Every structure is written in structure tokens, then in C-alpha cells.
Amino acid sequence: MPEVFVAGAAMTRFGKHMERSSRELVEEVVTAVLKHAELQPGDIDACYVGNAVSGLMTGQESIRGQVVLRNTGLLGVPIVNVENACASSSTALYLGRQAIASGEHERVLVLGYEKLYDEDRQKSFRAFNASMDLDEMRRRFPKGGEGRSVFMDLYASFSEQAPASGAGPDVEALGMVSVKNHHHGALNPLSQFREEVSLEDVLSSRQIAGPLTLLMCSPLSDGAAALVLSSRPPAGRPVRIAASVLASGRGDDRSRPDAVTRAAGLAYEKAGLGPDDLDVVELHDATAIAELQLYEELRLCGPGEAQRLVLDRETWLGGRLPVNPSGGLLARGHPIGATGAAQVVELSWQLQGRCDQRQVPEARVALAQNGGGWIGTDAAACAVHVLVS
């Protein structure tokens, strides 16, 4: 079976791009990723395009990838449109890797993009909320969608449920997740937010739901990210995708492990590696609560140890295992259809030593975890990728 390498990686700056269209953001990132890969459009065999809510935001459905790629020179090859909530582009990456590993293609482009900012903010929140079973959303959160994403209410409810390891996270630990990720984001020129914040800033920002304040929640974002995958190792320090796993959630069946636990376990098995081998991680910190939960679900620590990791600065740059050196969703931003690809862009750059002030020294093994949507008791989708150099 052919190995699969990241031959090119690029992303736009994430943020509020009211004056730019999805097509413009995509054209910028496609030009950049082909340049990085030293390829022309004619060298690409297929495109896998992740987008979550363009239909709800603009009305463009069905052929989203063909529309945004119209002027890139890539029309004519197979274009696969992928929609899987916040895991749309990580799902596209899963499919693109399969296409190469099977021998069907030699080079594919994986793209994720999203435009979430709109003059009508209610439209943006309705688009976010559509990543839940709407009947369930109305039942659980009867006031859901009134000026915010119900996902913040969902994450806040997790803090009220004492996990098997003990009580939920304390407010200081939640605040320090945000302080850490904004510190990292300040070092990333492509982050949406590039200012440091203090613990006082985080705790005094506007309350959103339960213990969550504004600075503990991921923002609305616009942006695009792209990867070129190849069966041929590129020049320089090659980055190989050692494992690519996609899982759907357990729904209402609490007797089964959650999607993150299952996907991560299988990814470690396929890569022949374990959590102790990791040098750097990008994970789906949609809220500060989510990051702490994921430490345990990814087996980055034992039960009850998640708070210690952030309070003792083990997951900060310079610590034992830096998590979200890009700034994560909290600071880099969260254009939902682009997030999964952006995580792998960051990790590819880390493994190639291209991250300047936020570089993790001698990083050789990396893990990306990206979740999407919610149904019942679990994420609707979860993708985990392990990269090695």
C-alpha cells in the first residue's frame, strides 16, 4: 500500500473577512499550497472539498467545491464535496488519504473553507446550531439560537456532570486554557486573535453559559486551509500521514466508548505509536471545557489529571507536550469547514520546523483531533490523524 505524504500545506489568516468571498479565500490558499508543493493545477488528480454551512449562509448547495475552485485551473478532475459539520475538512483529508493509499490517485488536493461572518449574526448562529439534531436541540435548549450557538450551552452542561475521574474543572483551569491558547495565537501571524490575555481578562469577560465566559469560547471565523497529499515523498523533511481515522458518535448508546476514545485508540494502533510518543497536538478546543476533556479522551494524561497539565504548563509551548501551538480554535479561530485541515497544516509546518516563535523543538510525531456536530451523548463525527517526520 502506498505511503501518503503531505507535499504542500497552506492557509489564509482566519478572522472577519466581510469584504472577501469564499471564492477569493479559496483562490488565495490554492495558489499558496500549489506553490509550496511546487506543482501546477494539472498535476492534481482529484480534489476533496470540505465545507459545512455555505448552503445556509449563501444558498450555494450541491456543487460548492466546483464553484469555489472555478478559477483555479482545477476543474476537470474529480471534485468531491464533503460536509461533516466542524469535521468537514478532516473528513475530506480522510477520503483524500484513502484515494492515494488505495493507489487510485498519486496527488490530491484537500481543501476546507468557510464564511461565517454575516451582517445578520442570527444567520451565523442558526448555521452553527444546524450541526445538532434540531428536534433534540429544541427539546434540550428551548431558547437555543437566540443570539448564540447552543454548543456553548452544551459544553457548559458538561461542567455540571462530574466525570468518572471526579469533579468538573475549576474556573482557574478553564481560564488558563484560554490564556495558554491566546499566548500561542499571539505568536501565529495567521491567527484571528493575536493579543495575549490574562487570567483576569478571561474570567471577567462576558458570561456565555455556565462557567464559560466569552474568552473561553471559540469565535465566528472566516478562512480557508489546504493540503496537497502525494504518494511521493517531497524534497526536504517529508511529513507522512501514519494514521487517519474517522468515527461517528455513539448517539444514545452510553454503553459504547465515545467517538474520540475510539478514533484515538485506532489511530494509535494504526500508527504503531502511543500518546507518550507525541511531541505536539492540535485538538478541537471549541471551548476551554472541551480542551480539558480531550486531554483525558486522547490519553494525554490519566483520569483527573487534565487540570494539572494546563496549570503546570505541561501543554504550553516549552512544556512536555505543547497543545494547540497555533492558538487553537480559541485564538487561531474556527471557520468550521476549514478547521480540520488547518490543524494538519499547523502540524505539518511544526514537523518541518517552519513555525518560527511558536516552533516546538525537534517535533517528530504529531496528532490532530477534530470533532464535528453533536447527537445524543456524543460528537456526530470525530477524525484523528497522526503525522510523523
Which active-site residues does the annotation give?
Answer: 86, 334
Take residue 378 and report the three cell numbers written for it.
Answer: 456524543
Q: Quote the CA–CA distance of 286 and 128 in Å, as a whole number.
A: 12
Task: Please provide residue 92's backbone torsions phi and psi, each rounded to the nearest 5 degrees.
Answer: -60, -40
Coil/strand/helix, residue 87: coil
> Rounded distance, CA 104 to CA 203, Å?
51
Question: Among 258, 331, 347, which Cα is nearest to 299's?
Answer: 258
| 199 grid coordinates | 487570567
Q: Which sign does the torsion angle of CA 70, 74, 80, 86 carry?
A: negative
The secondary structure of 183-197 as a DSSP string is HHHTT-TT-S--S--
DSSP state of 318: T
> In this structure, how many other beta carbons lie within 10 angstroms of the beta carbon of residue 266?
16
CA distance 63 to 79: 9
Task: Quote the strand ranges of the chain, DSSP E.
Answer: 5-11, 46-50, 79-82, 107-115, 207-209, 212-213, 222-230, 239-248, 280-282, 365-375, 378-388
Is 147 strand, coil or helix?
Answer: coil
Judge whether 66 and 358 are in contact, CB under 8 Å.
no
Closest to 339 (Cα-Cα) out of 351, 349, 357, 327: 327
Measured distance CA(10)–CA(363) in Å, rounded: 19
